[in-house]
Amino acid sequence: MPFAYLTFASARSMLSARLQDSNLVYWNQPLELDNCLIEAVRVYQALTGSYKQKIAFPTSQNVNYYDLPNLTGATNGDSVAYHVTDVEIANNVLAALLEPPLAAIWSGSGQFTLTQLQAALQGRLNRFLSDTGCRVSQQTIPGPSPPDDIATLPDAALDVRRAAWVPLPGQAPLNPPLPAYPLGRLDEWAEQAYVPDAEQNPTQPYSYSVFGTAPLQIRMVPPPINEGNVDCLFVQAGPALNINISAPVILPIPDDLTPSLKWGVLADMLGSDGPCRDAARAAYCEQRYQEFVQVAVLYPSVLLADIDNVSCGLGSVFDMDCYAPDWQIASGAPFFIGICGRNLVCVGSTPDAGPYGIGLVTVANAPVNLAGYMQVDRGAIDPVLDYAQHVASFKMGGAEFDATTPLYSNLVTAATAQNTRLSAVSFYRSQLQQPAAKSEIEVARMVS
């Protein structure tokens, strides 16, 4: 049963009373206070992961990878889908800057321009994806033509997370290999130390490097003796944003992490030279953006998995490559699910006709329905309203905004308390959350 205590409409009235603006004279943009409440609910969920949801979907024959936010035919799949658009974030930014909302004829003001807003939002989207790696995509790219050893990555690739060599039909390499063979990651020092004759002895590649290459290149080690493709997992940049109210673009990051873009855009715009410059608030916004980056890195995704309602192994794609390296070509009933990224899972063995029912218990989006009830427990309502008041006060600036900083701290304190409760009722919480973090541990993406 969902919570049925406080509606968003009632919460909006409480928030406007706190701001002493019950007639919405100062906070007068459409949905302005609603958006502050939505952000507060999403931030609380991002900090605690309290709301869970099981999603279920059928396998497709010969399909290994499943992008969770874009599942078709899934039960409760909407709970992990992407919903927030560039227009929503842009309007939240404009409200915080005392600018009118987007409209068909609005192109900016004496302080800010539409071009500036669009560039800042596009830049922060791609930066957040790069900083966090929260969106991983799978794509098969053409391999190098022998005796070359360099393959070209798609222009949108930000970071390679996995590679596998896929020989072309009729091009059976030596030994004989697996038709889809996972490649280990190395650098050029390891190559010269352990396989110094690799360049002189083309064969089936067994490693790859992205260190000693130009951008958007991946090098096979040793060079392939026959033609093939490369099955790649990589962190992908975001789509082109146009901030057009007639054609909003959905942002490919989890809903609960989208406030990061608002704060990042505000940091860029308030940090620009000219009449828009506000160094103090720009520094605050940058701090908030960096906090979201840290939350995104720690935020769990899939907790448990089953196949046809029977619990199954759940780990990382690296686990599958190590312990069942033929998982991409051994056709049959799946027995293991690997997490490739927050949004992407793979199943092995490769599903046959089946279909098989996959069930995943996920940390889902915070439910948001402005016509319904706020989905937070009664103990968290005051801290959530505190945070919403703090966010709404940003547009006042100066000492008035600074005075609301303790309200933000109240939400963080409440989230910390909730996390201690969740840890108390789950003896194995760290084990439940481990699969989502294993890829980052086993194949490190960044070194602090």
Cβ atoms within 10 A of the Cβ of 422, count?
13
Per the listing, tokens 């319904």 go with 372
Length of the chain: 448
CB 439 within 8 A of CB 342: no
Secondary structure element (H or E) that encloses residue 57, with its range = strand 52-58
| Assigned token pair, 169 | 């039909």
Cα–Cα distance list, 371 to 6, 37, 102, 385 (Å): 11, 13, 23, 18
CB 68 within 8 A of CB 57: no
Cα–Cα distance list, 119 to 70, 82, 124, 243, 334 (Å): 26, 21, 9, 10, 44
Residue 207 has φ and ψ, to the nearest 5°, of -145, 170
pTM of this structure? 0.93
Cα–Cα distance list, 295 to 64, 114, 254 (Å): 29, 30, 12
| Assigned token pair, 102 | 């987007």
Q: Of 284, 243, 245, which Cα lies nearest the Cα of 113?
A: 243
Counting DSSP H helices and E strands in the chain, the numbers are 12, 17
- DSSP 8-state class, residue 373: B
How does pLDDT run along the chain (448 residues), one tens digit per residue? 689 999 999 999 999 999 999 999 999 988 999 999 999 999 999 999 999 999 999 999 999 999 999 997 889 989 999 999 999 999 999 999 999 888 766 677 778 899 999 999 999 999 999 999 999 999 999 999 988 999 999 999 999 999 999 988 765 544 444 568 899 999 999 999 999 998 899 998 999 999 999 999 999 999 999 899 999 999 999 999 999 999 999 999 999 999 999 999 999 999 988 888 999 999 999 999 999 999 998 888 999 999 999 999 999 999 999 998 889 988 899 999 999 989 999 998 999 998 999 999 999 999 999 999 999 999 999 999 999 999 999 999 999 999 999 999 999 999 999 999 999 999 998 888 888 888 888 888 888 6
Q: Could you give the CA distance from residue 264 to residue 237 in angstroms, rounded to a whole number?
A: 16
Secondary structure element (H or E) that encloses residue 298, with its range = helix 279-298
Provide the residue ranges of all domains of the chain, joining segments of one domain with +: 1-51+366-425, 61-80+306-364, 82-133+246-299, 136-236
3-class secondary structure, 187:
coil
Q: Of 78, 106, 129, 101, which Cα lies nearest the Cα of 239?
A: 129
Helices (H), 83-222: 86-96, 114-132, 188-194
